[in-house]
């Protein structure tokens, strides 16, 4: 009797596990890369996405520096726009604009008068990346996967810096994700 009950319990658990595995969608390279990009763009999950990190800042606040050598939020956003745009051009096979090789320029060329345009462009280029990931063929996606993963990590790194600067400045609302 005990063996029969044990057999039925194993059979039931196997059936439940099998049913769950059939109903749960399988992750793909595309879905993982897309999720990483979205979570650093506008999908709030484990950390603050870019659109929340820059939301509500005035041009003056975006230009503020802490006096400790850290970049302003505006400089960080400009840097992300620069590199994301450049990487997307390369991904799409579009000729890239000339780059001097001086990464400092990708921060220092920030103009606070163009803050709203930079916020818009950041959202736009991240949306373009998501569309590119969604529509790329499997081979290209596989070739670019390590680079796309690094792009998302680059976002997370600089978004963390933005939050730090905003906290130092006093312009961060902890209800947005980081206490």
Domains in the chain (CATH in brackets) are: 27-172 (1.20.120.450)
Q: What is the pLDDT of residues 20-66, one digit of tens each?
A: 455 667 899 999 999 999 999 988 888 899 999 999 999 999 999 99
Q: What is the pLDDT of residues 110-119, one digit of tens each?
A: 999 999 999 9
Per-residue pLDDT, 96: 86
Report the predicted TM-score, pTM, of the whole model to 2 decimal places: 0.84
Per-residue pLDDT, 98: 87
Report the C-alpha gap between 54 and 133 in whole angstroms. Answer: 24
Report the C-alpha gap between 94 and 89 in whole angstroms. Answer: 5
Q: To which H or E segment does residue 50 belong?
A: helix 50-54
* Rg (alpha carbons) of the chain, rounded to whole number: 22
Residue 62 C-beta-side C-alpha neighbours within 13 Å? 23
């Amino acid at each position: 009797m005990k063996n029969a009950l044990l057999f039925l319990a194993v059979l039931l658990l196997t059936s439940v596990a099998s049913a769950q595995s059939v109903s749960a969608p399988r992750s793909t390279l595309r879905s993982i890369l897309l999720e990483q990009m979205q979570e650093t763009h506008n999908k709030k999950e484990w950390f603050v996405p870019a659109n929340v990190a820059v939301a509500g800042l005035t041009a003056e606040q975006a230009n503020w520096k802490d006096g400790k050598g850290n970049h302003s939020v505006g400089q960080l956003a400009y840097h992300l726009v620069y590199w994301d745009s450049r990487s997307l051009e390369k991904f799409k096979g579009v000729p890239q604009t000339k780059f001097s090789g001086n990464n400092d320029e990708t921060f220092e060329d920030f103009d606070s008068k163009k803050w709203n345009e930079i916020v818009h462009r950041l959202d736009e280029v991240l949306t373009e990346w998501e569309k590119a990931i969604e529509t790329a063929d499997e081979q290209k996606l596989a070739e670019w996967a390590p680079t796309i993963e690094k792009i998302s990590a680059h976002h997370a790194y600089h978004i963390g810096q933005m939050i730090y600067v905003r906290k130092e400045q006093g312009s961060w609302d902890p209800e947005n994700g980081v206490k």
